[in-house]
Structure 1
Amino acid sequence: MHREIERKFLVRNDGWRGKAEPVLFRQGYIARTVDRTVRIRVAGNQGMITVKVKVGPISRHEFEYEIPLHDANELLNSLAPVEIIEKYRYTFSECGHVWEIDEFLGANSGLVIAEVELQSEEEEVELPVWVGEEVSKISKYFNASLVQSPYGSWNHNEKQP
């Protein structure tokens, strides 16, 4: 078991572009509750199944296992198209941490989120200049929530986040 501790931020500009090559992610949720999810993901040519259980404001127990790519695709194909999230992920080091930038596609197009994984919830993080407002504790920015309420359906006239 791995304890995932991560902070999420909106991205304010394109200063991160060119730092990594994108990997296409396709993922869907076969189970969701308030404090846990079961996710199927295809990242590039790798299939994964992941169980996450919330244990703190920004931390979760994470159980992640590789599964055959064919099986992952079959599980994703069994979901309705609206239950699938597609995004490009860019992974690179900056300011002493590994950053993952998710550039969402489809119904979530226009949303770009930066994530940084930490060793503890109290760990200090130097934020690159392209990092905007923190959304770590705002559930509508969670991938599992974006399946049910895509970014494209939000009222963008309201103050974000």
Structure 2
Amino acid sequence: MKHLEIERKFLVRQHIWEDVEKPEAKKLVQGYLCRDDQGVVRVRIADDKGFLTIKGKLENLGRPEFEYGIPIDEATDLLALTLFTPIEKTRYKYMYRGKLWDVDIFHGANEGLFMAEVELEDPEEQIDFPDWIGEEVSHDPRYYNAYLSQHPFKTWSENRKEV
């Protein structure tokens, strides 16, 4: 299914998030079959479901996205073909003042990174922020999963982790 994905990304204040009552979580593993300036092709396993996603070029917080459910065995086979280290994370869906936030706690090569995303109807849409939201990183390519698969967070120097 195609839609225009408009999202903003933020770092999560871990010390505050730790005290938040958490909704049910999903385990995600995803990798990239193709990544260039025009977009990405991603394969994802979310619990026991497989997905193939094609995302176009990012422009002003938005980009076209096509996502298709695929059999779990095919998703597993495709993950073995990805370009770089698959991303492993736990995702919480958190509703706050009418907006659904995806909060991702990264594992493996990206351990220590906590991020949140919120999808918008319009790039100029005003939103309220939970107190655990930190600095916005929407325009910082280092915090996109395709980049993190090639340059894992654990390999960053401390200076590079500062935004």
Q: TM-score range by the shorter chain?
A: over 0.9
Q: 1:138, CA displacement in angstroms? A: 0.2
RMSD across aligned positions (CA): 1.5
TM-score (norm 2): 0.92
Q: 1:158, CA displacement in angstroms? A: 4.9
Distance across 1 between alignment mates of 2:154 and 2:135: 19
In the alignment, what sits opposite 1:151? 153
Q: Aligned with 2:56: secondary structure?
A: strand
Gaps in structure 2 of 5+ consecutive residues: none
Q: 1:103, CA displacement in angstroms? A: 0.5
* Matched letter for residue 33 of structure 2: I
Superposed counterparts of 1:69-80, under 5 Å:
69-79=72-82
Which aligned segments of 4 or more residues in structure 1 are displaced greater than 4 angstroms? Answer: none
Distance across 2 between alignment mates of 1:100 and 1:134: 14
Is 1:53 the counterpart of 2:62? The answer is: no
**Identity level (%):** 45
Distance across 1 between alignment mates of 2:126 and 2:63: 19
Gaps in structure 1 of 5+ consecutive residues: none
Query: 2:104 is matched with which residue: 102, 105, 114?
Result: 102
**Deviations for 1:77-136, whole angstroms, at most 9, x for unmatched residues?**
2347x5211000000201220000010001100000000000000000111111000000
Is 1:3 the counterpart of 2:7? The answer is: no
How many residue pairs match? The answer is: 160
In the alignment, what sits opposite 2:90? 88
Change (3 A) 1:60 1:154: same
Q: 1:14, CA displacement in angstroms? A: 4.4
TM-score (norm 1): 0.93
Q: Aligned with 1:144: secondary structure?
A: helix
* Matched letter for residue 3 of structure 2: H
